[in-house]
Chain A
Amino acid sequence: MALAVALVVVIITLLSGYFFWAHTWWFPIDISKHGGAIDRQFTLTLIITGIIFVLAQLALAYAVWRYRDRGDGRKARYSHGNNKLEATWTIAATVLFIGLTLMGYHIWAGIHFVGAAPGAMRVEVWGQQFAWYFRYPGPDGQFGPVHIGDKYDPATGKYIDDNKVDDATGNYLGLDRDHDAASKDDIVTATLAVPVNQQVELILRSKDVTHSFFVRELRLKQDLVPGMEIPIHFTATKTGRFEIACAELCGLGHYKMRAFFEVMTEPDYQKWLQNMAAAQ
């Protein structure tokens, strides 16, 4: 029995570890400026936890096999522990685990503590059950106001009908192009396209419930929270077509809430944007 337990633990450990080692399933390519650092931090964490994983499981297997009751009348060792050992592994664990998170700190800071550069291109990302819309500000650089749902009027304590959303006419974001000057040149699309090697700031907003913007290749995920405008920035370094998935449960069609993310060369991007503007 002892041998069986030890063997099974060893086999499980080696098999589990093998697939990480062999990269049988792995991250997709990284197409972002910040993603390389995330991938390196992952590899470092994998090495450290991998060593602990293998050592701990093998130690367990060894102890189980080595110290089985052999029926030889030997007594177990009478010991209540060892404070020196206790202190050693406490300090080792502290240094290792806290150290690891501190080492990754600059990556997080680079993504979140520093805002987008002043010249960064801005795009609004809108989530709704179960679709994505993207809004480009047009030549004026301004996003016009949206008229979604009803507005609360504190003066009267009543809700006023402010809704201009109309899926039939393609006005998904409730823009009032006739009255709001800033809305006139706004471009609303169903695909997110950005030029390569340019910093992009996304402003994440939701019309109904919480969604989450996830592009694997960008190493980017951020929730879209109703009532909040959450900025996030990145620079894509490779052209191509990728998938945007929703990563926060948003209702019955959560699994099919997807869109495409295209990274284009600057000329291609300009052409695309012109086509989109013409189609508004």
Chain B
Amino acid sequence: MAEMQAEIVHRHEAPKAFIWKYIFSLDHKVIGIQYYLLALFSVFVGLTLSILMRIHLVWPQASIPLLDKVSPLGAPGGVISPEYYLSLLTLHGTIMVFFVLTTAPQGGFGNYFLPLQIGAEDMAFPRLNMLSFWTTFAGLAVLMATFFIHDGPPIGGWTSYPPLSAVGGAAGPGMAVGETLWVVSIAIFCVASMLGAINFIATTLDLRARGLSLMKLPLTCWAWFLTAILGLLSFAVLLAAGVLLLLDRTGGTSFFIPGGLLVSDKPILHSGGSPLLWQHLFWFFGHPEVYIAILPGMGVTSHVLSTFARKPIFGYRAMVYAMSAIGVLGFCVWGHHMFVSGMSPYSAFAFSVLTMAIAIPSAIKTFNWIGTLLGAKIRFSTPMLFSIGFVSLFVTGGLSGIFLGQPPLDIYFHDTYFVLAHFHMIMGVASIFGIFTATYFWFPKMFGRMMNETLGKIHFWITFVGVYAIFMPMHYLGLEGNPRRYAEFIDNFLLPLMSVHRFISIAAFITGAAQLIFLFNLIWSLFKGKKATENPWEATTLEWTVPSPPPFDNFAGKHPVIYHGAYEFSVPGAEKDYIMQNSPEEVAADH
């Protein structure tokens, strides 16, 4: 064991003052928790907005206590107006996509565990790390401010298509100051994400422990690494688009606004711009964003499936290549959001073929997950349940993409509830299941206590059945042609669908309420949970070689040395059914 105990080179002491230790901390672990808490706050706001939306859709006249205090104009007497419904919808999407799905898996868990899993003392640029968190925080603060301005948050949706988003208050409530704040918030968020991405890329490439070749990296690290590359390239484009939109709104330019428009009887003094330009730029970001949200989920699912199956991941290399292929192809398919937008129909064909191509690595991943379970010895702890749920949801959400990726079918399904079902299943719920998996799996390491298993399982069952009850029927609504983003359903063909909407709303209320069990478990376990050992799940990666929670400088100044891949479970002849990555023990079939 001598070579493993590498000499102590340098030890760092943690700062003592509260403000440097917990607020402006340079420690990747504290910053990771900060990101997680920001996402936790955001997800409950986003969830509340969706519950309000579901109430409005089935009981448009319901009076919600306190809501008129938040928005006397949007919800007079607590009754949500159609335009306030659109405000809720816009902020629900924006908060969930940016401040939850982009933030928790990468900024939260990635920050906390990437250095630990690669044997590094911290991220490559700790100060940049702190800066990117606080920039994200500023972005969230600006977005939240839209709730409290006179005419409320913007109503343009999270996609913010111009001219609706570009011509100011004439376009509707919230489109003056609210929309400006929205653009500013997103621009700030882009900067934060790029700062974070640079850090992740540098850390992965430069700070890996001795012996940790790229092909020995845990799949979680591969996912964070690829996500960072996607983030760096795509947020740069969204930032540019955001600045152009801001200039159109406040600087008199006309990037996105054509001439001769008359909005609410008001002539718009712009000319020469193209509304489609925004859509191209937005989706050039928007599609990779889907993978930014879900790649870390794929990583953690692979990791947890292997660990609790007590079996090496099936096809490690195929998993790495598949994730890389998804990353590359993710930049070539943005046009499938625009089949009916008025762009050249010839390009639709190219985008369609490339979109189908991205289904191939996705299929490989699914097969490999199931392959990992064949011949396994599965332990059903809560993280495992959520990662099994992830696989099921990924299959369901992925397959509806096969319909939408075909232009002739998208003609019918575009902007219907079928699309809503598709991206909520895969980008929303599957990614959230990845976040739950990561939370239940790593909580013991982060806080030194186990989460309550019984509560965890109750949470899993209600959530798993609940999300299917909410989003499966949305496919059926899509078949009926139910358009999305409708505040009320007054068309004759929509009236018979109200019973389906009521069912969805009730399922949403129950599933939403079940998330309080999760919140309770989180807080309760923090103080009362069973003490966690160093390696409670008998996992193989480096974070499980240090105490729970890890000391300030992670490896106490030592440099771990890596001998094995990340998934050496049930090795024949080995003493235990897992071999730590830094164990010098020989493995017969090692490679």
Q: Which residues of A contact B (CB under 8 A)?
A: 1-2, 5, 8-9, 12, 15-16, 19-20, 24-28, 37-38, 41-42, 45-46, 48-49, 52-53, 56-57, 59-60, 63-64, 67-69, 74-83, 85-86, 89-90, 93-94, 97-98, 100-102, 104-105, 107-108, 111-113, 128-129, 148-152, 159, 161-163, 165, 167, 174, 204, 207-210, 212, 214, 216, 219-223, 225-228, 230, 243, 245-256, 258
Contact between A76 and B310 (Cβ–Cβ < 8 Å)?
Answer: yes
Kindly state the separation between the CA atoms of A97 and B358 in the bound complex, as whole angstroms: 10
A202 CB → nearest B CB, Å: 13
A257 CB → nearest B CB, Å: 10
Contact between B311 and A5 (Cβ–Cβ < 8 Å)?
Answer: no
Contact between B375 and A60 (Cβ–Cβ < 8 Å)?
Answer: no
The answer, yes or no, to whether B33 is at the interface (CB within 8 Å) is no
Contact between A76 and B476 (Cβ–Cβ < 8 Å)?
Answer: no
> B360's contact among A1, A26, A81, A97, by CB below 8 Å, is which?
A97
Which 3 A-B pairs rank lowest in CB-CB distance, beginning with the nearest? A227-B258, A77-B375, A112-B345
Contact between B363 and A93 (Cβ–Cβ < 8 Å)?
Answer: yes
Contact between A129 and B264 (Cβ–Cβ < 8 Å)?
Answer: yes
Report if A249-B161 is in contact (Cβ < 8 Å); known contacts: A41-B406, A69-B379, A210-B275: yes
The answer, yes or no, to whether B187 is at the interface (CB within 8 Å) is no
B268 CB → nearest A CB, Å: 6
Kindly state the separation between the CA atoms of A247 and B485 in the bound complex, as whole angstroms: 8
Which residues in A have their C-beta under 8 angstroms from that of B150? Answer: none
Contact between A25 and B359 (Cβ–Cβ < 8 Å)?
Answer: no
B20 CB → nearest A CB, Å: 45
Kindly state the separation between the CA atoms of A51 and B86 in the bound complex, as whole angstroms: 38
Kindly state the separation between the CA atoms of A174 and B260 in the bound complex, as whole angstroms: 11
Name A211's closest neighbour in chain B (CB-CB): B164
Contact between A60 and B315 (Cβ–Cβ < 8 Å)?
Answer: no
Report if A2-B363 is in contact (Cβ < 8 Å); known contacts: A63-B370, A79-B311: no
Scoring A12, A108, A111, A219 by chain B CB atoms within 10 A of each residue's CB, the highest score goes to A108
The answer, yes or no, to whether B247 is at the interface (CB within 8 Å) is no
Which residues in B have their C-beta under 8 angstroms from that of A60? Answer: 370, 373, 388, 391-392, 395
Contact between B316 and A228 (Cβ–Cβ < 8 Å)?
Answer: no
Report if A163-B163 is in contact (Cβ < 8 Å); known contacts: A25-B500, A101-B356: no
A268 CB → nearest B CB, Å: 22
Contact between A210 and B163 (Cβ–Cβ < 8 Å)?
Answer: yes
Contact between B161 and A255 (Cβ–Cβ < 8 Å)?
Answer: no
Contact between B392 and A27 (Cβ–Cβ < 8 Å)?
Answer: no
Name B408's closest neighbour in chain A (CB-CB): A107
Contact between A2 and B380 (Cβ–Cβ < 8 Å)?
Answer: yes
Contact between A42 and B380 (Cβ–Cβ < 8 Å)?
Answer: no
Kindly state the separation between the CA atoms of A106 and B481 in the bound complex, as whole angstroms: 23
Which residues in A have their C-beta under 8 angstroms from that of B493? Answer: 28, 216, 243
Which residues in B have their C-beta under 8 angstroms from that of A223? Answer: 340-342
Kindly state the separation between the CA atoms of A85 and B309 in the bound complex, as whole angstroms: 20
Contact between B480 and A26 (Cβ–Cβ < 8 Å)?
Answer: yes
Name A95's closest neighbour in chain B (CB-CB): B360
Which residues in A have their C-beta under 8 angstroms from that of B311? Answer: 76-79
Contact between B486 and A255 (Cβ–Cβ < 8 Å)?
Answer: yes
Kindly state the separation between the CA atoms of A57 and B163 in the bound complex, as whole angstroms: 43
Kindly state the separation between the CA atoms of A145 and B547 in the bound complex, as whole angstroms: 76
Name A75's closest neighbour in chain B (CB-CB): B570
B298 CB → nearest A CB, Å: 15
Contact between A27 and B479 (Cβ–Cβ < 8 Å)?
Answer: yes
Which residues in B have their C-beta under 8 angstroms from that of A107? Answer: 408
Contact between A101 and B353 (Cβ–Cβ < 8 Å)?
Answer: yes
Which residues in B have their C-beta under 8 angstroms from that of A249? Answer: 86, 156-157, 159, 161, 164, 485
> A161's contact among B171, B267, B399, B461, by CB below 8 Å, is which?
B267
The answer, yes or no, to whether B374 is at the interface (CB within 8 Å) is yes
Contact between A247 and B415 (Cβ–Cβ < 8 Å)?
Answer: yes
Which residues in A have their C-beta under 8 angstroms from that of B385? Answer: 1, 5
A82 CB → nearest B CB, Å: 8
Contact between B402 and A212 (Cβ–Cβ < 8 Å)?
Answer: no
Q: Which of B131-139, B200-208, B226-234, B464-472 lies at the interface with chain A?
A: B464-472
A15 CB → nearest B CB, Å: 8
Report if A9-B269 is in contact (Cβ < 8 Å); known contacts: A25-B500, A97-B359, A104-B406: no
A131 CB → nearest B CB, Å: 12
**B375-388 interface bits toward A, Cβ cutoff 8 Å, 1 = contact, 0 = none:** 11111100001001
Contact between B342 and A230 (Cβ–Cβ < 8 Å)?
Answer: yes
A93 CB → nearest B CB, Å: 4
A59 CB → nearest B CB, Å: 5
Contact between A24 and B476 (Cβ–Cβ < 8 Å)?
Answer: yes
Name B412's closest neighbour in chain A (CB-CB): A219
**B283-320 interface bits toward A, Cβ cutoff 8 Å, 1 = contact, 0 = none:** 00000000000000000000000000111111110100
Which residues in B have their C-beta under 8 angstroms from that of A102? Answer: 353
The answer, yes or no, to whether B577 is at the interface (CB within 8 Å) is yes
Contact between A148 and B406 (Cβ–Cβ < 8 Å)?
Answer: no
Kindly state the separation between the CA atoms of A228 and B313 in the bound complex, as whole angstroms: 52
**B403-421 interface bits toward A, Cβ cutoff 8 Å, 1 = contact, 0 = none:** 1011111011011100000
The answer, yes or no, to whether B15 is at the interface (CB within 8 Å) is no
